[in-house]
Each structure stands twice: as structure tokens, then as C-alpha cells.
Amino acid sequence: MEQPTWTYRSDQDIVSMAHVLTWVADDILFLGHALLSVKRGSDGFPVSIDRISPDRYTITNGSILVDEKPVDARDVIFVPGLVDGLLDIGARSIRGARYVEEAWVGRVRNPIPQTVIKETTDQTNISDERAEGIVRQFNEKRRDPDGATTYVPYGLAVEALGANDSNLFVEARNALRIDIGSFVGVPSTLMDATTVQASLTYENKAGERDRFYVEALPLYAAAIEQRLSLDDVVPRGQRVRFDFSELYAQVPTPTGAPTED
């Protein structure tokens, strides 16, 4: 059967269908849906499709607006995801990841434990403005590569409150990787993340790969395949499927399967 041209050709000079479909999968992963623009031939079926950036369209009461203007339903293809987007179901974990990242970066910038600068006598009488200046200079000195030693003026004392366990950041980042991966169906082992039971369970690379194909890939590939198989895209009786034969092969062809352009 002859392949429709829109499955392998793009009207753009430097953007291939591989890029378009990758962006579509990206939109479905993060947002839970994607939108395509369509150019149709005389038979009513697409001759080319392109991805519409999410910042260009909105959906209100079942109506799609592109660039704040209504569009004909035949000019677009709305691709709903099979699951909610990561930005919805993983919003709290993503915020937590940002906080952990900020804390980790701050810890690297200031590796010395949290510190308090105290007045030791009643005669210092340091103003708030000067106190802020002392703290600022002290923090700048701590970030200096040669800042292991600092001078403390008379009447002041430096007290370290204790250091945070550096393993906390490693464990937190690892846990977040596992959590976010679970939202999108990616096994933790594929992300080089470890679980508590990791030392008790052995899984070879082939098993990890098979889990990805079974648990993660269909969540997004099937959404695209099923939508592009509807009657407004291909004639009745035809369906659209990704060719994963190379991925599922036990020994993939080194040069890739021959294809006709």
C-alpha cells in the first residue's frame, strides 16, 4: 500500500516529519494533548500536516482558537492523550524538583554550613545597614575559591549551626527522578535511578528495554496512531502505525531497515 505523503514529507525546508511527530509526542507527554494544522487535497484527506505550538491555541467550550481566531474543524487535527499531561499530574513533584535543585545549587555555592554572626559585646552597636553589609561580604568570601579563611572584626563571633547531610540532596533528586518517571511510565532503571529494592532485584538491559516498550511507549505512540487512523485522516479500512520493528528486534539491523522515499 502506498504511504500518504504527509507521513514522511513536510512542507517546511528544514523541519522533517520526525521533528513534527517528536514535538507532538512532547506536547502529549507534558500537556496531555497536541494540535496539528492540516492541508487537504481534493479527496478531502491530508496532503501535509504540521504541529501548532501550544502557546498559539486555546480550547474553550469545545471550540479551538488558533492565534485567538476560530478555526474550521477540517483545518486542524486535535490529538488527545491517553493520560493526563505531566504538567498536571506531576505538578507538585515538578515544584519539589525545582526546590531541591535550588537548594542543591545554593549548597554548592555555599558549601560551608549555615552560619550566624553574633555581637559579643554591648559596645559594638552595629546598625542594620552595616550588619547587612557584613553578612553580604561574609557570603561573598565563602563563595570565593580562596575563602576558607576569613577575618572577624572585634566584637563579632561566627557560629556554625551545622551542615546538611549531602546525601539528602542525592536521595531527594533520585526520588524525584523515580516519581516523575513513574508519571510517564518510564522504569526507574532506565533513568539510572535506584530504588530500595534495587540491590535485591536483578533485571538485564533487555528486560528494561522491554518494560519501556510495554509500559511507556504505548502511552504516547498509541494516542498518535489512533487519532491519525480516524476517517478524517485516512480512508476507512486503513490505519496508521509507527514502524517499531527495528526497536523490537532482538538484534537490530546495524544500518537500519531499507526504506523507499
Domains of the chain: 113-162 (3.30.1120)
Q: In what order do the strands lie in the sheet with 63-66?
A: 57-60, 63-66, 69-70
pLDDT of residue 199: 46
Query: pLDDT tens across 82-91, in order?
Result: 999 999 999 9
Query: pLDDT tens across 178-211, in order?
Result: 898 889 888 777 776 555 544 445 556 566 667 7
pTM over 0.85: no
Cell of 109: 555555592
Torsion region of 135: left, alpha or beta (phi above 0 gives left; psi -120 to 50 gives alpha): alpha
Cell of 97: 524538583
